[in-house]
Amino acid sequence: MPPSQLKPTPLPTARKQLRYVGSAQKDLLKFPSEVREEVAHALRVAQRGRKPLSAKPLTGDPAFKGASTLEIVEDHDTNTYRVIITVKYPEVVYVIDAFQKKSTSGISTPQKDIRRIKARLKTAAAEYAKEFKASGAK
């Protein structure tokens, strides 16, 4: 089919709720405005059930299995900012963590950040189970 006949795939209209775990929202608000704007766009894409272009599956620990835990990466003024989200749940996108990358070990995520992310993933799972499983949601 010629490109002129291709139709863009519309974004789903239903949006998942957006929830923040721990200090993720406060930490995100400390980012430069340009970075916050890019992250906000990526979060809207995730809320509509799509993978943001600036996101990749988070690696570094078996707890981050599959593609349900994503890392949104934005570069600005020689700094790298990361926002960790989970899209595992049908009704909600959880923002797990937001931080400026300061690793001295290359591109890998520091162990203290991995421990915090794992703890917050458990918090999100417990919150989801309490609110959505109790109400009979999927």
Q: What is the DSSP letter of 18?
A: E
pLDDT band at 136 (very low <50, low <70, confident <90, very high): low
**pLDDT, the chain, mean:** 87
Give a yes or no: residue 41 inside a domain. Answer: yes
The number of residues making up the chain comes to 138
81-91 pLDDT per residue, tens: 999 999 999 99
Mean pLDDT of the region 52-69: 87
Would the pLDDT of 1 be above 60?
no
Give a yes or no: residue 8 inside a domain. Answer: no
Q: Give the C-alpha separation, 10 to 59, whole Å.
A: 30
Give a yes or no: residue 4 inside a domain. Answer: no
Would the pLDDT of 102 be above 50?
yes
- What domain count does the chain have? 1
DSSP E strands, the chain: 17-20, 55-57, 69-76, 79-86, 92-100
Least confident stretch, 72-76, 102-106, 127-131: 102-106
Residues 109, 83 contacting (CB under 8 angstroms) = no
Give a yes or no: residue 96 inside a domain. Answer: yes
What residues have CB less than 8 Å from 45, skipping those under 6 apart?
Answer: 11, 51, 52, 53
The residue segments making up the domain with residue 100 are 15-133
Rounded percentage of the chain residues whose pLDDT exceeds 70: 83
Give a yes or no: residue 3 inside a domain. Answer: no
Give a yes or no: residue 6 inside a domain. Answer: no
Report the CATH number that the domain containing residue 62 is assigned in CATH: 3.30.2310.20
Give a yes or no: residue 7 inside a domain. Answer: no
Give a yes or no: residue 9 inside a domain. Answer: no
